[in-house]
A = this chain, B = another copy of it.
Amino acid sequence: MSRTHGPALPARADVEEAARRLAGRVVRTPVLHSPAIDRLAGARILLKAENLQDGGSYKMRGAMLAVGRLADAGHTGVVAQSTGNHAVAVALAARRHGLAATVVLPVDAAPVKVDRARAAGARVVRAGTTVEERLAVARRIAEVEGHPLVDAYDHPDVVAGQGSASLELIEEAARRGTPLDALVVPVGGGGGIAGACLAAAGTPIEVYGVEPVGCDSLARSLAAGRPTPVAPAPSLADGLRPGCVGDLPFAVARTGVRGVVRVDDDAIGEAFRLLLLDLKVLVEPSGAAALAGALRLGEPAGPGGGAGTAAGPGGGGTPWPSGGGRRRTVGVVLTGGNVEADLVARLAGDRTTAGAAA
C-alpha cells in the first residue's frame, strides 16, 4: 500500500497541494539574510532556515505529508530508513498521527539522530553503513509487520513535501520584492532538489544542486542520462552520502536542474562557520553545503575551479555576475540543523580554513 510513482511524474500542483496540507502542521520557517554573506557571494542570498523546522530538518515536510496520507488510508504503522533526519521526521510524524514507527539507521549514525528518533517514540534498528543494507532490513521489517515503507526520497509525497520549503522561499522572496533568480539545494537522494525543480517549474528560476566531492551521484547521473551510483567518499555532510540518486528524483531533476556544483569539506566547514557566527544559526554540514555551493557558483570561472565545476544540462559559466550586471537574488535551502556538540565545537574553533570562501 505504500505509494510508488507511476509513469506520471509529480508536478508543481503537487507541491502547492503539499504546502496547503502542511500549513499549520509544520513550521513556516523564517527566511534569513546577511549583508556579509551577500558580499561574499556577489548576490543577494536568501536563506530558508529549515534547521528551525520541527525535528530539526525539512524532512519533516515530506514525512508529515506521506505519513498523514497513510494514516488517512487506515495504516497503523510505518517503516523508514535513513542516515538520520528522515528517520527522525518519520518518527515524529508517526507519533503526531498516532501510528507506530520503526526506523532503520546505520550503525555509524550521528548519536543525536538516534536519540531524537527514540525520543519521538520510534523503535530504532541499526543496520550496516550503506543505503542498500538499510533498505534490505527495512523492507524485511515492513513485510513482517505489514506496515508500508516510507522511502527517504524515492516517493512522490516526500518529493512534494520537501518541495514546499522551496515554494515558501520562492513566495517569500517575491513578497519582499526580490524574486529569486536561482535556487540552490543540497543533494543526497535527490528528494529535496526534485521538489525544488517542481516548485520552480514554469518560472525563470534556475535550480542548482550541490554535492560533496566524491558523493556526486546526481552530477554523474545527469551526465550519463540515467541514475548512476557512486561509492560515496567520506564527507562532513553525512546526509548527502546516499550511493545513488533515486529514480523518481532523477526523472524530475534531469529536465529541471540547471547545474550541479561539487564542494569539499573545507568549503562546507567555512559555510558552517559563516552561518553560525554571522547568521547566528546552527546548520548541519549537509545544509551548510548548500551555501558553500552558492558561494562557489558565485566565484569567477577559471582553470580548475569556479562554476566551471558545474555539471549537467546548463553547466559552465558564472551564474551570478559579481560585476556590473543586475544583482541577482539566490535562494538557498538550509535543510537541517542536527549536529553533534563535538562536531560543532571542532568546526566552530577551526581556523585553518577561515576565509576560504572569501
Contact = CB atoms under 8 A, between A and B. Distances in A.
Interface of A: 30, 32, 51-52, 56, 112, 273, 276-277, 279-283, 337, 339, 341-342, 344-346, 348-349, 351
Chain A facing B: main interface SS: helix
Nearest to A345: B349
A230 to B, nearest CB: 30
Copies in the complex: 2
A351 B345 CA distance: 11
Given A344-B345, A345-B346, A345-B348, 13 more contacts: A30-B30, A32-B52, A52-B279, A52-B280, A52-B281, A56-B280, A273-B341, A276-B344, A277-B341, A281-B282, A342-B349, A344-B344, A344-B349
Contact of A280 (B337, B342, B348): B337
A348 to B, nearest CB: 4
A345 B282 CA distance: 13
Nearest to A52: B280
A337 B280 CA distance: 6
A287 B279 CA distance: 16
Contact of A348 (B51, B56, B348): B348
Q: Which 7 A-B pairs have the closest CB atoms?
A: A345-B349, A280-B337, A30-B30, A345-B348, A344-B348, A280-B282, A51-B280
Contacts of A273: 341
Contacts of A32: 52
A349 B339 CA distance: 12
Contacts of A283: 280
A119 to B, nearest CB: 8
A280 B277 contact: no
A342 B350 CA distance: 9
B277 A339 contact: yes
A287 B282 CA distance: 16
A111 to B, nearest CB: 12
Contact of A282 (B112, B277, B346, B351): B277
Nearest to A30: B30
Contacts of A276: 282, 344
A148 to B, nearest CB: 27
Contacts of A346: 345, 349
